[in-house]
Every structure is written in C-alpha cells, then in structure tokens.
Chain A
Amino acid sequence: MRLRSTLAPFFLIPVCLAQSAHRSPTLGVPKDKLSLYVPIAGSNPPQWRCLDGKGDLLLFSAVNDDYCDCEDGSDEPGTSACKGGMFHCVNEGHLPKNIPNLRVNDGLCDSDCCDGSDEPAGVCPNRCAELGEAYRTTLEQERRLRRTGSKIRSSYVSYAKKEKKRLEEALEKGRQAVDQARLDEMRLKAVLDRAESTSADALEYKLQSPLYASLKSHSAAVKALTTKVANMEGKIATLKSILAELETSHNPNYQDMAVRGAIKGYQDFLESEKIPTDDVSEEDLEDLFKAAENDVESWTTEELKRLGQADLTGLLLEHEHHLAGFGKTEDSILFSVEHYLPEAWLPYYHETKTLLISWMVRLGVVRGVLDTSDSDEVKRARTAYSDAQRAAEDAENKLAADEDLLTKLAGFYGPDGEWLKLKDTCIEKNTGEYTYSICFFGLATQRSNNGGGTHSLGRFTTWNDEEAEGTLEYYSSQLYEHGARCWNGPERSVELVLTCGTENALLSIAEPEKCEYIVEGTSPALCWPLETEAQTKDEL
C-alpha cells in the first residue's frame, strides 16, 4: 500500500500522545549515525529535522514514536513504522547487524539480533555471548580447514610451477621441431611434384580406359545408394530413439491417448521387426559379411560406404600392377581403403578385402594384363610427402597446445595455476540411484546404478563468468553445458559450486529445474592462504 508520500511534518502540534514514551530516540541507530539523532541545538521544546532535510521541523519526541513522519523514514530508526528501513542491532559480544525494520516488534526474536533489541524490553533474552562464542568456534574451525587445505593447495601450486618450467622448455624445443618439419615437408613436396609430372601423361592415358569409366560410374552409384540408405537409417534411428525416449520417459500426467497409442505401436513394431540394434556384436558382423558374400543385395551400409570412398585412380594403378605381377601377394591391392578403416574395424579388414575383390570380379573389373609403368615411385613420394605434412601439423599442434596451456596457467587455472593439477581429475558421488561424476575441465556424467545408461551432463564451458577472473568467487563455480538433451526439455547442464575442503569431493547433487543440476563440492584448490583474507575476518 502506498500511502501518499507527502507526509510532511505536522504543522499543528497541540498535544503529543505518549506513544514514544518508552523508546530511546537512538534505538536502532548505527554507531556512525548516532550524532544525527539529537535535538536541534537550543530548540525548546526540542525539535528535529528529517535526515533528508525535507519538510518542516518535528518535535524531537516524534523520533521513534512508532509513526512515520519523514518521507525518508529517518524519524523511525527503531520501529517498523516507516517502510523499507533498516534497524541496527548493536549485538555487543557478537557481530553488529542491520536487519530490515519490518522485523522490529513482530513478536519474534530475530536470530540476527542476538541482543534482543528488535523486540520490546523483556521479550527476547540477550544471547550474544552464547552466539558470539559459537560463531568464533565455527570461525576457528573454518580457519583450521583453510590452513590444512591450503597446504594441499600449495602442492598444486608447486606442480604448476614445475609444469610452467617444463612447458617453457618444451616450447623452445617445439619451435625447433616445427621448423625442421616444415623444411622436410617442402623437400618432399618437390620430390612428389617431380614424380607426378613424369608420369602424368601415362596416367592420363590410362584414365581413358573403358574399364575405369565403368568403375567410376559404378562407384558413383554406390555412393548415391549409400547416402540414401544412410539417410533412411538415420531417420529410422531417430524415430526409434524418440519412441524409446517416449516409452521410458513419457509423463503420465499428459494422460494422452495418442502418446499411449504411439508407445503400444512402438512396442509392437520392435516385437515384429527385431531390428538389429546399433551395437552389432562381432558375431553378428561376421554373419553379415558372410551373407554379403553370397548376396550382393545385402551389403551393409558401412561396406557400401567404404566402396564408394575407394580411390579409383589408385585402384586403376593397382589393377595394372596386379595384372603385371600375377601370382604375387594381394596385400597391397586395397591400400587406399585401409585409410578409411577405423581402428576398431581392423579385425575385419581381411574379410572386407576379400569381399571387395570378389565384388570386383563379379563386376568384371579384375580381368586381363596391363603394363604398370612408374606408379610405384609416385606412390612412395606421395606417402612420404603426406607423412611429412602430418608430422609438421602434429608438431605445430603440440606447440600451440603447450603455448595455450602456458597462457592459461596464469589466470584460467587459478591465480597460482593451482587448478592445473586437477585437470582431468574426476570426482564421484553415489546418490543411490545414480553415480555422478565430474572430471574437472572435462565431462560431467550421470551413471545409473541399476543397469541403465550413462548420460552426459555436459562439458566444462566456463568458470563463474559473472565475477572477475582472479577473484575467489570466479573460481567458486564451474559450468558444464550441452549435455544430453532431456525429453521435452533442455540440454542437461551442471553448475558445480565449490568451497574450500581438504578433499576433492562432491557433496550433494540437486536438480532444482528439470535437467539443470546444481552440484556442490569441495577442493583444496579453493583453500586460499589465510593471510589474504585475514583482515576482514578479524572484525571481532
């Protein structure tokens, strides 16, 4: 309720009702303002003016008379009469405190006002001695914790110092390595250029072979087909995931017939289709490959994809080489395919290779004898050049990474680089149903303890960027974002709130909003040395 704020002093003052009889005019006034709460010198009867200087003079007895006269509320420091003011509790024996004046005279002994001055005399006991003592004990415990923690932290700091030195040395070496690698790369490029120009004419002739043309169009067809199949499988997988998600996570509150129908349909679909899942076992894969040998139609997408990606020119040259060296080993025939094989697929390399060959035989690719001329030389040169290229890039990457780390050591990894030690350190908490894990500066996950899956809760993105880098508050929380998306909700994310502790540990996990986690934890890295804050804590 906003009463008109024109409550200027009253000009007619015939009688002063004794509302203020028992209240000191300085009740609720902080020490530094006590001098303002005295009558105007020489006034009789004693008078007073609102602290904002506005309005006419008041009788001094209007101060703390439980009626709001001043627009700025300054005449009622010790009552709740004026809206929005603060009441000062002296709290002798404990910390002084300002409380909102709406707590004054509300019948409750305010915990922030241990001297009981917020309520009429006799209502609240003075508990300042007791509370002050407890506060000091807690403070001392905290300090002990800080001391222990900061010892651990200093070990992190010395690690950072060593790392800094190592990095500086590594940087020097790294720069040299990059220079050398770039020189090698240039040299080998020249070799390759030479080799290619000498054989370019011969290659051009070979590329005109009808066989190559046919191979090329077949390859294009395979690519198109593969893309199409991949698109379709992707869509099916998408739909399946959505339905699986719907099945497990639909909210019965929606009470939605359509949702229930969809789930039933999905279950029937799974039952009837028995579609192989994405996680194909090794046995399954072998079976598939075997089937493919007998039936061109049943090629797996993966195989088709690899075929589409084959280096046709290379194949043409290899083909010549193969015909020329009839009876030699076939090991090198698919060298370019090998590039596209993920490591996990290497066990199936031989099967794949066999299949490819048989496929080419069917298509009539492998037939007759041709002169293989000088392709060996070009091939070797190309390999050597690309190796050198990679080496140079690797060296540069390593150098950049080291430089980045060195830059981050001052600031990002804490004022003293103390957090570097914790990079990739993972801490866990088992809450019964789930185990939560956070790897500092890495991934946060939620793992089901009942055989369900593991979900990403996000990757580290930033410190508390609402605070300035270098402050304790800045390093007191980390954000992990862009985790797995929730059904009908946001991507999961974690705010990791940290305090000083002797261990790197997670204390609690909460999900105040759907899929937005607040995780509390401790780390010695936050136990800054006591000296830096000692002054502020010594108010007592």
Chain B
Amino acid sequence: MKLSLIPLALLSLFSLIPTTAAVKSHDFKTCAQSGFCRRGRALASRAAQAGADWDSPYSLLQEGLEVDSAGSTLRGRVQRSLYPHIKFSLQVDVLKDGLFRVRMDEVDGLKKRYDEAAKWSLVGEPELGSAKWEKGHKQVMAVSSTKDGEKVELQIEYSPLRISMWQGGKETITLNGRGLLHMEHFRLKEDPPAPTVEAAAEGDEQTVLEAPAPAERPSAWFEGADEDGYWSESFGGHTDSKPKGPESLSLDITFPRAQHVYGIPEHAAPLSLPTTQPPDNRYSEPYRLYNLDVFEYLADSPMALYGSIPLMHAHSKDGTVGVLFLTGAETWIDVARPEKGEGMSTHWVTESGILDLFLLPGPSPNALFKQYTALTGPSALPQLFALGYHQSRWNYISSKDVLDVQRRFDDALMPLDVTWLDVEYANQKQYFVWDKSNFPDPRAMIDGVAEAKRKMVAIVDPHLKKTPGYFVYKQAQERDVLIKKSNGQEYEGWCWPGASAYADFFHPDSWTWWRGLFRLGDGKEEVKEGEGWNDSTKDLFIWNDMNEPSVFNGPEITMPKDNIHHGGWEHRDVHNINGMLFQKQTSLALTERETPAKRPFVLSRSFYPGSQKYGAIWTGDNDGTWEHMKVGLPMMLTLGVTGMSFTGADVGGFFRNPSPEMLTRWYQVGIFATFFRGHAHIDTKRREPYLLEEPYKSVVRDALQLRYAMLPVWYTLMHEASISGTPPIRPHYVLFPKEEQGFAIDDQFYIGDAMLVKPVTDEGATETTVYLPEDQVYYYSYDEYTMYRGSASGTHITVASPLDKIPLFYRGGHIVPLRLRPRRSTPLMAHDPFTLVVALSTKRTAEGELYLDDGESFAFQEGDLVWREFKASKAGKKGLKITSQDKVPKHPTEAVYGVDLSGKYQQQNAYAKDIEGVRVERIVVLGLSAAPTNVHAVLGDERVELQFKWTKGSHAEGRKNQEGAASVLIIKDPGVSITKDWEIVVE
C-alpha cells in the first residue's frame, strides 16, 4: 500500500477511527425498503387480519382442464376474481419418483414473465412420471409414488385454488392454504386522475380543486389501496426504472407436519431456520435471497449474502419433504411456526418470473438429496489436490514471495497443496495479464510450485477493465457480449480496476470466447493475445470472485435491476443465476484446456441451484471473530443439505488479525470443511501457519496432518456426494431423522456416517459438551480411544478440549480408512499404505468403504477406479472376520453418476494396476472383548499368519455400559493389497 504521508500530529485522531467497521446495514434493503416485499408482507397481514373471511381470489377453471394420456401432465386455466379478463395457465407435471412440478404463468400478458431459470439450473427436462388422476367436483387428484413405493398424492382444489401433497394419509405440503398466492399481472401505467376544474361560484376566477380521492380499487382488499412501488423505486441514491411495472409473485407454502425448516442459503444463520414472524420470532426481517457482496456481514442475520439456493427442507420425525422454488429474481421468505402442532408456515415473495415449483416428497433427508440431485445434477468430483490445504492471501506479492511460502511450509513440515494469488497479480486488475514487475516469469513460478506436485490458483473476476488496451474487454466488446444498460448502451460499473464492463454469460457467444481465453500455450511458442493464456500452465487453476456481480457504485453494491442481458431479459430476472454461469464457463474452460481432460477446479463466491456441478464455493468475506468461526458451521451444513458439497469458510477470518488461539482453533474447524483454505485481507498481518509460535504451531501442524490423514475419508465422501448428493458433512437430522433432540443441533456434525466432530469455537475452552444420540452405539475418541455411549433420548458427555484436543470420535460400527504418512502434498501420497480403524459396534460388527481413482482425470468415468467395501463381523464366540470386497460389481450404477459400469468395469483396471502395490499397513480394531490368540490373513487358498499387538481395555459388547479406554488390537502389516479381495480372521 502506498499512501500519502500523514503528520504524526494526527495519530491521536486515528485511534478514534475503528480499523474495521461492521456491515453497513443501510447499504442493503430491508423488506420495507423493497416494494414487492412490502406488498407481499402487506398482503399477508391483510389476510391475517381477515382471518377466516379471507379467500384467495384465484381459482382453477374446470373448463378446459385436461390431463395428458400418459397421466403425466395436467393443464388448466386459472382465473382471478379481481381481474377476470386476466388469465393464467397452470401446469402440473408428475415427475419420476413421486415429485411434482407446478408451473403457473400469465397467459397473453402485456409482457412475458421470465421462464428460463429452470433452463440454467436443471440438468435437463426432468423425467416425467405417471400418476393416476381422479377428477372430482371440487378437486382433482393425482396419485403417484416414490422410488420406494410410498404413495404420494397431489390434491388440487379448484376454488379457491389450493394444492396439497399427501403422504401416508397426511398432508405434507400445502400451497396457497393461506390464500397468499398472487401473481401480479402486467399492466399499463395509468395517468393519475386529472384535477377537476370548476368555475367559481362568484367572479371570474377559477379555482383548482384537489383531485377527489379516487374510488377505492375493487382489488384493494387483496392488492392494497395504493400502487405501492409499482412503477419505480429508489434506494441509496439509485432509482430502479421498473419499465415492466409490478410483476412479483407471492405464494404461501405450509408444511403441516414439519417442526423445522432448513436450507435456502446463503445466510449467516442457524441450520434450523429461526422464524421471522410471530410468535417468538428471532428475526424480524424475512430471509432474503439476492446475491450480494456484503462487506463484513453479520454473524446472525437473515440478510442476503453471496449466493442463493431456493430449496427448503421441512422436517419432523414423521418425515422430510422439500420445495424448490426456481426463480432467478430477488426473493424474500418469511418463516413462522404458528402454534404447536400446526407445522411450519412459509411465505415466498419473488420479484419476477413464472411460478416454477418442485415438490420433493422425500420422505427421508437422504431421499431428498437424491431427488434434488436428479433435478440439478450431481456435485462434481474434484481433483484430489483440491481437498488438500489451500494457502491464500490478498496478496502474495511476487514470485519470490510465492516460492518462499512453499519453502516455509516444507521447513515447518506442514502439508500444502495450493497457493493462491488474489487480484494484485494482475496488471491494473486486468485478469490474465500478469504484473511482470513482480511476477516476471509466471510459468517458471508455477513450475517451481509444481515441483512438489503443488498447484496454484489465480483470480479471474467477471468485471473487465474498461480500456481499449485490455484485450479481454476489447474482444468482449467486439463480440457484443457485454451487459447493457436499460437504454441499450454498454453498462459501466466500478470494481477493482476502476471503470469496468461486465461480460454477459447468458449470451451464448460469450461461451466459446471465454473458454478460449484459458487455452494453454505449450510454453515454446507464444500463444497469441486473445487466443489463450501463455502465462499459464496446467497447474494453474481459477478463482471466480465478485460474481454476484459486485459493483462498487451500484445499488446495493450490485448491478441495476433494469440492466439488460441477452434475450432482452432484465437483470432483475436473472440476478441470482448470473454468478453460476460465470463459474460454469470457467470450469468448462479448464476442462477443455488439456487432452485428455483433467477435472477443473474453480472457486466461486456466488452460487445458484446447479452450481455444485462446477466447483467449490466459500462463505465469502467473513470476519476474524469467534462468532464468525461458529456460524461457519451451520452455514456449511445448510449448504451441504442444499446440494453444495464442496464448501468452506476462510480459515482465520478474512478481516482482522486473529489471535494465535483463534487461528489455531480455526484450523481445527477448517480441517472438517470439504474446501479448506486459509485466506486474509490485505490489511492484516501475515498469518501463514508456520509463523505461529509454539505451542500453536505444533497444534496447527497436527491439525493439518489430521486433515491429510483423513483424505481417503474425504475423497470417498466427495465421491458419495457426486453420486447421491448426500453431503460429506452431515447434521444430526440427516443421520437420525427420528431423534427430535438433534433436529436443531448445528455445532457438531458427522463426517460421513463414521465420525462425529464437535469443533471448539469458544475462546479459552478447556472442555466441551458433546451430544451423543442413538442407543447401543459407542463413540471412540480418535486419539485416546476412550469410549462413550449414546442413548436414544440423547446423552451429553463432557470431554477435555484444551488447545491441542479436537473432540472427534469414531462411531461404533464403522471402519475408517486413513493414510498416516504426512506428505508435502496430496499427489505425493498416491502410493502410501493405508491404516484401517475398525470401531466395533455392540454387536461386534463394523463396515466402511473407500473410493480411489487417479484423482485428476476423467478416467474414473470409464471404470478406472477402486471402490472397496470393508466389513467386520463376528467369527466364533469372541473372534472377528474382516473382509475387503469390490463394491463396483454389486453397485455398478452407483460408482459413477449416470453411468452403468456393468460389463465395462474390470477389477484389474489401469488405475487398480497402478496402485497394486499399495497395501494396508495396519488394522486397528477398537472394542474387541477378548485378547486374540491368532490373527491370520486368508488370501485365496493361502493362510498367512500375522503379527499383532493387544492392549487390554473396555469392549463394546453386551448390555453393560462400558467406559474408559477401549481395548486395542493392532494388526501389523497384514500385507494385503488395497485393491484386492481379502479376509483377515482374528481368533
């Protein structure tokens, strides 16, 4: 930072200026400051006041109501008593596996409502199912069923229009039950009534009288008396011209059976969403979905953040259902828990677009994940390195600095995979163009980093410096793929480079152009400017930041809503989708740049349903406070249950300087995020973990090494997420959907099914309370193997958690694969042996799995992979049998998403051959009841005696509650290959 001199005499004044200020709430709208939200809430309050007298004016006409012959689609007309001449279409699709899709649009309106959110978000046209339809006098009903054969009914009442889903004889989702459905039709702006002019009773003078109060609109009982914010609105000095007038959509969605609702990220809020309406509401504002760059956001608030996923889970011990409200526009959601036993009621108001609503029947969280995945696609399986540690800072200032960071990680024996460059690498923030004074030879630098098989990431943002000298801007202008103002001229906003233009990724012409920018040179011949990126190598990956988009001088730090995108759509229609398309194209660019292709890595800040297909996201510019460390957990859990598997928060907090204790604890939290990155603001002190003093430094090193030891676990979980959408880190309600005490727990979570962690996020903590659910299951602390037993009603245990302890447990009944040799980077672990930890259940059983592939290419899609299933089971009275089996032949359609490997897969595939020599070097069995007399491996016909070590301790079997250190059996070097089938017998 080069700043001008400030006289010393001013120092005293500076101490009065806080170094960082909290979020400027007044920079962002409240519901009352947003016209359509204000109207939506007013509608709800009129309905509440009217009580039982309130009737929705919307009704489905029986005339013309038809179901197609396949029983897949119902089409009809909706009429509204307010403006009988305005017509709406209603279409209900029966989708596969018991899902329903409800669409409603204005017919022959003055303008067209935006209807492309699904096009950008869904993987394709959802597969139609078939239902049995019954048309009655008051309603029409469809009967469908879930994958598991559970009956799902959809009941559509004609007048007033009310749609409800029924499962197991109970109503689970109700639409328009409170009569808040309202699709504002397009209308013409009427001139205000002219003032009446009358002749004065006496004399020549005429008197201009006040206009008489207009007769109340017939629709006032429903729409309100005024045209509140219909035609333009201003906020913070910006005016939204609203050329289309009012077009918002309001809908109440009730979950009569639910106790909790989850989802609708991104908010810095608890996992179980607190209510925003009485009674007992924690928040007074609705949850807002509007992708925004919020400076120093609050740690407990329904305010909008960087990304939006309008997917909500509604849950109780009776089941889980979900709704996906596909809209790309700003959306506000009120949540209420009316009275005990009445379920959860929500009210959604979105600014524009058609109604495109998906009803997901569940009935379990795991079923919901699959249903959502089928709609929006599976999360991408990342390269293995991306699960390692990422070291970032705004900014590493030179090639020398970057290489110095590598050396210092090595010297400190700390693993590292990726080193990041923020905006300062780019000459005048012109992305792709290096600042050659500090990075004279980028390729040499990246190659230097890659010596230890490490990678780099450089930032590329969507704002383009508006100068003819910048080839990216010039090309975008030539191709006419820049976002335009409402008057059709090129839009200019301010961002890092100053005056900037913004590429429009809704424009198909932008796609190939953008992808071409990342084409690699061969290093010999210069890639011509604009035809690729010569100063790049295959080891350089990309960070897409500021893609909400962030516009420093725009309304709410983003783009004016009346800006125009490709196809003439307003920015208001597509705002929340915008960021995803940018990440998508960058992600495709990285896939295309190599042959054979490697998996891309692109980090984005903004996201939308579907983003999981394109890379990682992080929780943005968090604050270095304990509160932010804490709220990072529910934020990630929420993202996980809404399809975003690859997420994390900046370790240490982006703003402020964390204390050594805070930074240390943050690393202990960060290692349990799928995306694990330390990052810091340019104003902060350097805080790379090697800079810490002891004991912090060693504690952080242990945490980093634990992360790397658990990489087989993480990779296997990312694989599972890429198939089923099940999040790698799982809140209690996902694992125990029937244990009510766990439904709101979000400060501890499961890593897959096999490990439980309660990260310490309190300053000075020396002990921590952990909640243990489920009966008949022991939890073994990961370092001491101390046993704790849960209970169905929930047990709270207190464990010591001084600075060097992480409350982390193996869950009884599970087998965990680890790699205990801490290398410098993940690729260097590719041929390291495995340790299997077998945590026995009370029934002397355990199971686990391991997924492996080359960690970088797409060869796994052809079956080049290793997927093992481990099982431990009783053998004899006290003995145990541990087996490893190939999981692919049993589940040929679940190894690769959308691919059936039957017939294609070979156990001896190229990858399996490559790691043939990789062995299991150790098996640790916890909780066995008696000392073995013999351990041997069975390899085909061969029996090989094995060495082992037995340590007496408590065992998991029997009804009696065991405490203290578990018994430990360590089988030394069983000499079995990780790729082969084997059996080990403990007698």
Chain A residues in contact with chain B, CB under 8 A? Answer: 1-4, 6-8, 10-17, 19, 65-67, 69, 80-81, 83-84, 100, 102-103, 105-108, 234, 237-238, 241-242, 244-245, 248-249, 252-258, 260, 431-434, 446, 448, 452-456, 484-489, 508, 510-515
Take A80-B821, A489-B683, A512-B401 as given contacts and tell me if A252 and B948 are in contact as well, using a CB distance cutoff of 8 Å.
Answer: no
- How far is A484 from B972 in the complex, measured between Cα atoms in Å? 64
Q: Chain B residues with Cβ under 8 A from A446's Cβ?
A: 2
**CB of B370 closer than 8 Å to a CB of A:** no
Nearest to B933 among chain A residues (CB) is A12
Asked if residues A2 and B3 are in contact (CB atoms below 8 Å), the reply is: no
**CB of B784 closer than 8 Å to a CB of A:** yes
**CB of B951 closer than 8 Å to a CB of A:** yes
**CB of B51 closer than 8 Å to a CB of A:** no
Q: Chain A residues with Cβ under 8 A from B4's Cβ?
A: 244-245, 248-249, 452-453, 455, 484
Asked if residues A8 and B1 are in contact (CB atoms below 8 Å), the reply is: no
Q: Chain A residues with Cβ under 8 A from B824's Cβ?
A: 102-103, 106
Asked if residues B3 and A249 are in contact (CB atoms below 8 Å), the reply is: yes
**CB of B552 closer than 8 Å to a CB of A:** yes
Asked if residues B820 and A1 are in contact (CB atoms below 8 Å), the reply is: yes
**Sample of 15 A–B contacts (CB below 8 Å):** A2-B702, A4-B783, A6-B951, A7-B970, A14-B945, A66-B973, A67-B972, A106-B823, A252-B494, A255-B552, A256-B27, A257-B237, A452-B4, A484-B6, A510-B397
Asked if residues B552 and A488 are in contact (CB atoms below 8 Å), the reply is: no
- Name the interface residues of B142-183: CB closer than 8 Å to any CB of A: none
* Further 12 A-B residue pairs, CB within 8 A, beyond A4-B968, A248-B3: A1-B709, A3-B924, A4-B783, A12-B947, A15-B947, A16-B947, A19-B973, A242-B13, A253-B552, A255-B552, A485-B10, A512-B686
Asked if residues B828 and A4 are in contact (CB atoms below 8 Å), the reply is: no
Of B397, B494, B828, B831, which contacts A512 at CB under 8 A? B397
Q: Chain B residues with Cβ under 8 A from A514's Cβ?
A: 1, 682-683
Asked if residues A106 and B295 are in contact (CB atoms below 8 Å), the reply is: no
**CB of B17 closer than 8 Å to a CB of A:** yes
Of B6, B7, B948, which contacts A12 at CB under 8 A? B948
Asked if residues B968 and A513 are in contact (CB atoms below 8 Å), the reply is: no
Asked if residues B828 and A234 are in contact (CB atoms below 8 Å), the reply is: no
Of A81, A107, A242, which contacts B830 at CB under 8 A? A107
Chain B residues in contact with chain A, CB under 8 A? Answer: 1-11, 13-14, 17, 19, 21, 24, 26-27, 236-237, 293, 295, 397-398, 400-401, 413, 437, 451-453, 494-496, 550, 552-553, 557, 682-686, 702, 705-706, 709-710, 782-785, 818, 820-824, 828-833, 835, 921-922, 924, 944-949, 951, 968, 970, 972-975
Give the shortest distance, in Å, between B461 (CB) and chain A (any CB).
12
> What total of A-B pairs shows CB separation below 8 Å?
181
Take A6-B951, A241-B7, A256-B24 as given contacts and tell me if A102 and B413 are in contact as well, using a CB distance cutoff of 8 Å.
Answer: yes
Asked if residues A255 and B2 are in contact (CB atoms below 8 Å), the reply is: no
Q: Chain A residues with Cβ under 8 A from B974's Cβ?
A: 17
- How far is A83 from B684 in the complex, measured between Cα atoms in Å? 34
Asked if residues B401 and A510 are in contact (CB atoms below 8 Å), the reply is: yes
Give the shortest distance, in Å, between B681 (CB) and chain A (any CB).
8
Give the shortest distance, in Å, between A369 (CB) and chain B (any CB).
48
Take A65-B973, A510-B398, A514-B683 as given contacts and tell me if A254 and B295 are in contact as well, using a CB distance cutoff of 8 Å.
Answer: yes
Asked if residues A486 and B398 are in contact (CB atoms below 8 Å), the reply is: no
Asked if residues A485 and B24 are in contact (CB atoms below 8 Å), the reply is: no
- How far is A7 from B950 in the complex, measured between Cα atoms in Å? 10
- How far is A75 from B821 in the complex, measured between Cα atoms in Å? 16
Interface of chain B, main secondary structure = loop
Q: Chain B residues with Cβ under 8 A from A67's Cβ?
A: 921-922, 972-973
Q: Chain B residues with Cβ under 8 A from A108's Cβ?
A: 451-453, 828
Asked if residues A81 and B682 are in contact (CB atoms below 8 Å), the reply is: no
Nearest to B553 among chain A residues (CB) is A260
Of A2, A14, A66, A102, which contacts B947 at CB under 8 A? A14
Nearest to B6 among chain A residues (CB) is A485
Of B6, B8, B924, B948, which contacts A10 at CB under 8 A? B948
A-B residue pairs, 5 tightest by C-beta: A1-B709, A484-B5, A14-B945, A106-B828, A15-B945
Q: Chain B residues with Cβ under 8 A from A260's Cβ?
A: 553
Q: Chain B residues with Cβ under 8 A from A6's Cβ?
A: 951, 968
Q: Chain A residues with Cβ under 8 A from B831's Cβ?
A: 105, 107
Nearest to B294 among chain A residues (CB) is A255
Asked if residues A258 and B968 are in contact (CB atoms below 8 Å), the reply is: no
Asked if residues A252 and B496 are in contact (CB atoms below 8 Å), the reply is: yes
Nearest to B554 among chain A residues (CB) is A255
Of B2, B822, B828, B835, which contacts A3 at CB under 8 A? B835
Of A102, A237, A510, A515, which contacts B400 at CB under 8 A? A510
- How far is A106 from B437 in the complex, measured between Cα atoms in Å? 35
Asked if residues B11 and A107 are in contact (CB atoms below 8 Å), the reply is: no
- How far is A237 from B550 in the complex, measured between Cα atoms in Å? 35
Asked if residues A83 and B820 are in contact (CB atoms below 8 Å), the reply is: yes
Q: Chain B residues with Cβ under 8 A from A515's Cβ?
A: 1, 3
- How far is A84 from B820 in the complex, measured between Cα atoms in Å? 12
Asked if residues A485 and B14 are in contact (CB atoms below 8 Å), the reply is: yes
Asked if residues B3 and A83 are in contact (CB atoms below 8 Å), the reply is: no
Give the shortest distance, in Å, between B242 (CB) and chain A (any CB).
22
Take A13-B947, A258-B24 as given contacts and tell me if A487 and B3 are in contact as well, using a CB distance cutoff of 8 Å.
Answer: yes
- How far is A100 from B701 in the complex, measured between Cα atoms in Å? 15
Of A10, A102, A238, which contacts B9 at CB under 8 A? A238
Nearest to A99 among chain B residues (CB) is B410
Q: Chain B residues with Cβ under 8 A from A511's Cβ?
A: 1, 397
- How far is A484 from B5 in the complex, measured between Cα atoms in Å? 5
Give the shortest distance, in Å, between B23 (CB) and chain A (any CB).
10
Q: Chain A residues with Cβ under 8 A from B970's Cβ?
A: 7
Asked if residues A3 and B820 are in contact (CB atoms below 8 Å), the reply is: yes
- How far is A456 from B835 in the complex, measured between Cα atoms in Å? 58
- How far is A255 from B556 in the complex, measured between Cα atoms in Å? 9
Q: Chain A residues with Cβ under 8 A from B783's Cβ?
A: 2, 4
- How far is A434 from B3 in the complex, measured between Cα atoms in Å? 12
Q: Chain B residues with Cβ under 8 A from A249's Cβ?
A: 1, 3-4
- How far is A499 from B687 in the complex, measured between Cα atoms in Å? 27
Give the shortest distance, in Å, between A178 (CB) and chain B (any CB).
35
Give the shortest distance, in Å, between A449 (CB) and chain B (any CB).
11
Q: Chain B residues with Cβ under 8 A from A3's Cβ?
A: 820, 835, 922, 924
Asked if residues A255 and B975 are in contact (CB atoms below 8 Å), the reply is: no
Q: Chain B residues with Cβ under 8 A from A489's Cβ?
A: 1, 3, 683
Nearest to A431 among chain B residues (CB) is B437
Nearest to B557 among chain A residues (CB) is A255
Asked if residues B19 and A488 are in contact (CB atoms below 8 Å), the reply is: yes
Nearest to B783 among chain A residues (CB) is A2
Q: Chain B residues with Cβ under 8 A from A448's Cβ?
A: 2
Q: Chain A residues with Cβ under 8 A from B293's Cβ?
A: 255
Nearest to A106 among chain B residues (CB) is B828
